Chain A
Amino acid sequence: MIGAGWQLQALFVALAIYAGAALAAVFLPRRRLGLVYAASAAAASLAVVAEISAFFGEVVLKEHLPVGLPGVGLHIRLDGLSAFFGFIVNVGVLMTSIYGAGIKRDDLSKRIEPLYPAFCGAMNAVLLADDAYGFLFFWELMSLSSWALVVSRHDDPESRKAGYVYLVMAAGGTMALLFAFGGLAGASGGYAFDTMRASHLTPLVSALVLGAALIGAGSKAGIMPLHAWLPLAHPAAPSHVSALMSGVMTKVAIYALIRVVFDLLGDPQWWWSLPFILLGATSAVGALLYAVQDQDLKRLLAYSTIENVGIIFAGLGLAIAFKSSNIPPAAGIALAAALIHALNHSWFKSLLFLGAGAVLHATGTKQLDRLGGLIHRMPKTSAFWLIGALAISALPPLNGFVSEWLLFQAVLTGPVFPEPILQFLSPVLGAMLALAAGLAAACFVRAFGTVFLGRPRSPEAATAHEAPFAQTLAIGLLALLCILGGLLGGLTAFALNPLLVEYAGAAAAINTQTGPTPFSLIAFDQGRAIYDAPTIAFFVAVSSFTTMAAIHLFATKKTRRSPAWDCGFPDPSPATQYTASSYSQPLRRVYGGVVYSATETVDMPPPGSLREGHFRIRFSDYLWRFLYVMPANALWAISERFDLIHYLTIRRYLVLMFSTLIVLLVITATFM
């Protein structure tokens, strides 16, 4: 007999399974560790069912557990927003668990398997927490367990550096969130979210809370310029964990931001949207300029995550701007764009990372210029990866297009803003997003082309093998989700309406009922914008097949294989192919000097000499140098100056304290 509110109990059971799996993994022998993934998949499936039911039932379930801080306990709440993000988390966990079951157990297993379910459970628990203490506790648990997974290969110095940077950023981020919740709780210290919702903050405190939340959640989501840890840490983790960190954990950070800004902080001011829009646009374009140059397949994907987080930020910013300008339908569209993009990105980014993991496993390398030609040896992985690459480049009829289409609908509503700054910014944002879309396509053409097409560039790539069944199954399921998410995008958007009403104040912003087909997605009204994915898919399919048929009809029916035109010299070396760096050279020439001060040096041998020529590119990461290295050095220098204080006499210490006290008293006496 299932009573009301069973969803929350089901989630508790799922959390218990995660915790049990984490504990059991410590004691299980290595060959039994696959059970951890079975348990995680079971927990994730249960949670997905519960969250779907809670989301469509529009239930709000609350619980108060007597654990945690004495006298405060732990508040738990399951509402539409946490159910939606819980769905994202648990679908991701389900897929990576299926993939994980196909991983061969090796020496690393003992370091990965106990932490994997702990990480999954912590992400789930963050979404359920309904007070600041519980939220921060599980947030920190999430950070620490993922950190431990990042440093699982700690004998590698790169991995250690990634772990160090991640730890510093995560600690700073949690600190910022602590301040944000402190500001929300106010002097009376009501740390339950219900109390925060009811309280009214002064504009200054609201602004400070907003800034702290942006730093705290933004650093976890990887928004520029707080992204430095992400391209280091995400690739360093085992691939299925990379998929979780990039695809899912960044969404938990987005959830935190939505929870604080749209829910707890009360009515927005129009200028709150500015940091979101500016950071979002910068991240979208900036991160792709790095991604399009990068030689490491997994790091490239991590940069692309920053880009997508930027797009989500832009959507959130527009939603805030429209909501504060009292244009609810547009706010609903923008928020829907952000939410659907979060969902979509969790799917295609998990797909791409898992695919990269399969490639890494098959070839032992993730350097683009050592891969190539894998489409012949890993046909399934290649096909699924291509779908993911198309989806992330926002091509219709796949899922990435749905969210970007909605976002552009919101951008195009920009001229109705009352504030001139926003009127000015919205076309700029549109241009930046369009540039980002183009760069993303370039980036993934380059990645797919170098990894899967052409001839193998190394013996490892030439002898690669297809991934195990469980891994291709997980990647294939994600590809299926990307296709379905695209075709049924209208329905997804329609299902979000309750959330849009609650957080953007938009009643029925998304309407699918009045369209020409049941799947059409209508922004605002039918006369303005309709996107009908199945129709477009049908059109694309029909026109492609007609073209193909026509070519085969009028040309030849046979598939011919022949050597490529090589100026008459059939060249056996694969180094003469187009490479990843040659593909990105035009973009490097255009943006390189400004964005990463790329300098190219060509060293040609003089005529007649037989020595090799050399071509070198040097990069310098401005952001890393000015925002991370220089402040860190300054901090060291200051600390060394203050080191003198270590060696004062007792009386001088007393004088120090005494004079501080006197100064404070004098200030009080003067200004009170």
Chain B
Amino acid sequence: MTNAYDVAHFLAGMMLVCSFTLLYQDRILAVLNTFAVQAIMLSLAVAWQGYVRNAPDLFITAAMAFGLKGIIIPVALNRMVEKLGIKRGVDQVVNVGVAMFLGLGLTSLALLLVLKVTPGAASFTREGLALALAIILLGLLQMILRRNAVTQIVGFMSIENGLILAATGARGMPLVVEVSVAFSVLIALFVFAVFLFRIRERFDSVDVESLDKVRAARAHR
């Protein structure tokens, strides 16, 4: 059984590392690739859970994570970026050092919290949950620290990765919920895409700052 723990923790840890990478990486194609890696790690983690716990429905989850988030979404985002012609680096709101410190703080908060709140649960569940929570918080942080709409979308998607990890770590969601969540993420992607092209049409940029300027103008009208 200790092997099962080690592998699961390794995979979840790799996802966390990907999250940190997403946080500091400032080239947009690299961000997309890292996201793909994180999704693949997620599918591996879920599949490992399915194998260890002998739960075949988790393999479906794993397959969906791999197909949708490991391949389709990164490819779609890649093509979008090409079409939009975003070549320049992604600008962060704060510099990398501060971002890393914030990330570390959130990770330790997640660990402290989960380990303290769930003393009764099985140790595997506890650590899995802690890592998942850290990934979710880092995804949120990424959404805040980025100006570019595409990287904000990636942050949103990585939150979803964390949620799936947490769900499989505990007992697993019912399959129906799982499938609907997966599809809603897909639909969110379409919405984002339409949105992105519209922003780009209007402002020649996908920097959300330009949206803020419009709002500010309205506010002071």
Binding between chains A and B? yes
Q: What's the least CB distance linking B170 to chain A, in Å?
A: 18
| Contact, CB under 8 Å: B109 / A662 | yes
Closest residue to B155 on the A side, CB-wise?
A654
Q: Which residues of B contact A651 (CB under 8 A)?
A: 93, 144, 147, 208, 212
Find chain A residues with CB under 8 A from B112 CB. 669
User: Which residues does chain A contribute within 8 Å of B144, judged by CB atoms?
Assistant: 651, 654-655, 658
- Give chain A residues whose Cβ lies under 8 Å from the Cβ of B106: 662
Q: How far is the CA of A661 from the CA of B109 in the complex (A)?
A: 12
Contact of B109 among A646, A654, A658, A669 (CB under 8 A): A669
Q: Is the CB of A654 within 8 A of B140?
A: yes
Residues in A neighbouring B143, C-beta threshold 8 A: 654
For B145, give the chain A residue with the smallest CB separation.
Answer: A651
Contact of B113 among A650, A655, A669 (CB under 8 A): A669
How many chain A residues have a CB neighbour from B under 8 Å?
15
**Is B171 an interface residue, CB under 8 A from the partner?**
no
List which B122-168 residues lie within 8 A (CB) of chain A.
Answer: 137, 140-141, 143-144, 147
Q: Whole-angstrom distance between the alpha carbons of A668 and B133 in the complex?
A: 14
Please determine whether A649 and B215 come into contact, CB atoms closer than 8 angstroms.
yes
CB distance from A671 to the nearest CB of B (A): 10
Which residue in B140, B147, B208, B219 is a CB contact (below 8 Å) of A647? B219
Shortest distance from the beta carbon of A544 to any chain B beta carbon, whole Å: 79
CB of B191 closer than 8 Å to a CB of A = no
* Chain A residues closer than 8 Å to B140, beta-carbon distance: 654, 658, 661
Q: Is B211 an interface residue (CB 8 A)?
A: yes
Q: Please, which residues of chain B bring their CB within 8 A of the CB of A647?
A: 215-216, 218-219
Instruction: Answer yes or no: A665 CB below 8 A from chain B CBs.
Output: yes
Q: Is the CB of A658 within 8 A of B141?
A: yes
> CB-CB < 8 A to B209: which residues of A?
649
Q: Which residues in B have their C-beta under 8 angstroms from that of A669? A: 109, 112-113, 116-117
Would you call B219 and A665 a contact (CB within 8 A)?
Answer: no
Residues of chain B lying within 8 A (CB to CB) of residue A666: 109
Q: Please, how many angstroms separate the alpha-carbon atoms of A661 and B133 in the complex? A: 12
Q: Would you call A2 an interface residue if the criterion is a C-beta within 8 Å of the partner chain's C-beta atoms?
A: no
Residues in B with CB closer than 8 Å to A662 are 106, 109, 137
B42 CB, min distance to chain A CBs, angstroms: 22
Complex Cα distance, B221 from A647, in Å, reads 12
A646 contacts B212, C-beta separation under 8 Å = no
Interface size on B, residues (CB 8 A): 22
B209 CB to closest chain A CB (Å) equals 8
Q: Is the CB of A672 within 8 A of B215?
A: no
Would B212 and A650 count as touching, CB distance under 8 A? yes
Residues of B within 8 A of A665 (CB): 109-110, 113
Distance in angstroms between the alpha carbons of A651 and B140 in the assembled complex: 11
Give the residues in chain B near A646, CB-CB below 8 Å.
Answer: 219
Name the distance in Å between A46's Cβ and chain B's nearest Cβ: 53
A654: B residues at CB distance < 8 A: 140, 143-144
Give min CB distance, B48 to chain A, whole Å: 28
Residue of A nearest to B117 (CB): A672
Question: Which of B113, B141, B208, B215 contacts A668 (CB under 8 A)?
Answer: B113
Q: Which residue of B lies closest to A666 (CB)?
A: B109
User: When chains A and B are docked, how far (Å) is the Cα of A655 from the Cα of B219?
Assistant: 20
Known: A646-B219, A661-B140. A672 touches B116 (CB 8 A): yes
Asked whether B211 lies within 8 Å of A650 as measured between CB atoms, the reply is yes
- Binary per-residue interface labels of chain B (84-123) against chain A in the complex, 1 for a CB within 8 Å, 0 otherwise: 0000000001000000000000100110110011000000
**B22 vs chain A, min Cβ distance (A):** 16
Closest CB-CB distance, B108 to chain A, in whole Å? 10
Interface residues of A in 634-672 (CB under 8 A from B): 646-647, 649-651, 654-655, 658, 661-662, 665-666, 668-669, 672
CB-defined contacts of B215 to chain A, threshold 8 Å: 647, 649
How many Å lie between the Cα of A651 and that of B94 in the bound state?
13
Q: Which residue of B lies closest to A661 (CB)?
A: B140
- B219 cross-chain contacts in A, Cβ below 8 A: 646-647
Contact flag A649-B212 (CB < 8 Å), given A654-B140, A658-B144, A672-B117: yes
* CB-nearest residue of chain B to A649: B212
Report Cα–Cα, A658/B139, bound state, in Å.
Answer: 11
A207 to B216, CA, bound (A): 48
Residues of A within 8 A of B141 (CB): 658
CA distance A649 to B112 in the complex (A): 32
Chain A nearest CB from B210 CB (Å) reads 11
**How far, in whole Å, are A658 and B145 apart by their CA atoms in the complex?**
12
* B137 CB contacts on chain A under 8 angstroms: 662
How distant is A642 from chain B, measured CB to nearest CB, in Å?
14
Query: In the complex the two chains form, what is the Cα distance from A646 to B209 in whole Å?
Result: 17
Name the distance in Å between B92's Cβ and chain A's nearest Cβ.
12
Interface residues of B in 187-221 (CB under 8 A from A): 208-209, 211-212, 215-216, 218-219
Taking CB atoms, residues of chain B closer than 8 Å to A668 are 113, 117
| Residue from the set A647, A651, A661 with the largest chain B CB neighbour count within 10 Å | A651
Which residues in A have their C-beta under 8 angstroms from that of B93?
651
Inter-chain contacts of A658 with B (CB < 8 A): 140-141, 144
Q: CA–CA, A651 to B91, complex, Å?
A: 14
Least CB distance, B190 to chain A, in whole angstroms: 20
Distance in angstroms between the alpha carbons of A122 and B117 in the assembled complex: 49
Complex Cα spacing A654 to B156, Å: 12
Residues from chain A with a CB closer than 8 A to the CB of B113 are 665, 668-669
Closest Cβ of chain A to B107, distance in Å, is 12
Q: Which residue of B lies closest to A669 (CB)?
A: B113
Q: Which of A310-347 contact B (CB under 8 A)?
A: none
Residue on A nearest B216 in the bound complex, by CB = A647
In the complex, what residues of B have CB within 8 A of residue A650's CB?
Answer: 208, 211-212
Nearest CB in chain B to that of A654: its residue: B144
| Most chain A C-beta atoms within 10 Å of own C-beta, residue among B109, B144, B208, B212 | B144
| Closest beta carbon of chain B to A3's beta carbon, Å | 50
Expressed in whole angstroms, the minimum distance between the Cβ of B114 and any Cβ of chain A is 9
Closest to B110 in A: A665
| A672 → B minimal CB distance (Å) | 5
Kindly state the separation between the CA atoms of A651 and B211 in the bound complex, as whole angstroms. 11
Determine the distance from Cα of A672 to Cα of B93 in the docked complex, in whole angstroms: 34
Nearest-CB distance from B215 to chain A (Å)? 7
> In angstroms, how far is the closest chain B Cβ from the Cβ of A40?
52
Min CB–CB distance B87 → chain A (angstroms) = 23
The CA-CA distance from A669 to B219 in the complex, in Å, is: 39
Q: Closest residue of chain A to B209, judged by CB?
A: A649
Least CB distance from A662 to B in Å reads 7
Give CA–CA (A549, B176) in the complex, Å: 96
Closest chain B residue to A650, Cβ basis = B208
- Nearest CB of chain B from residue A664's CB, rounded to whole Å: 10
Which of chain A's residues has its CB closest to B115's CB?
A669
Q: State how many angstroms separate the Cβ of B116 from the closest Cβ of chain A.
A: 6
Q: Which 6 A-B pairs have the closest CB atoms?
A: A647-B219, A649-B212, A669-B113, A669-B112, A654-B144, A658-B140
19 contacts between A and B (CB under 8 A): A647-B215, A647-B216, A647-B218, A649-B208, A649-B216, A650-B208, A651-B147, A654-B140, A654-B144, A658-B140, A658-B141, A658-B144, A661-B140, A662-B106, A662-B137, A665-B113, A668-B117, A669-B109, A669-B112
Chain B residues with a Cβ under 8 A of chain A: 93, 106, 109-110, 112-113, 116-117, 137, 140-141, 143-144, 147, 208-209, 211-212, 215-216, 218-219
* Seed contacts A646-B219, A672-B117; 7 additional CB < 8 Å A-B pairs: A649-B212, A649-B215, A650-B211, A650-B212, A651-B93, A654-B140, A669-B113
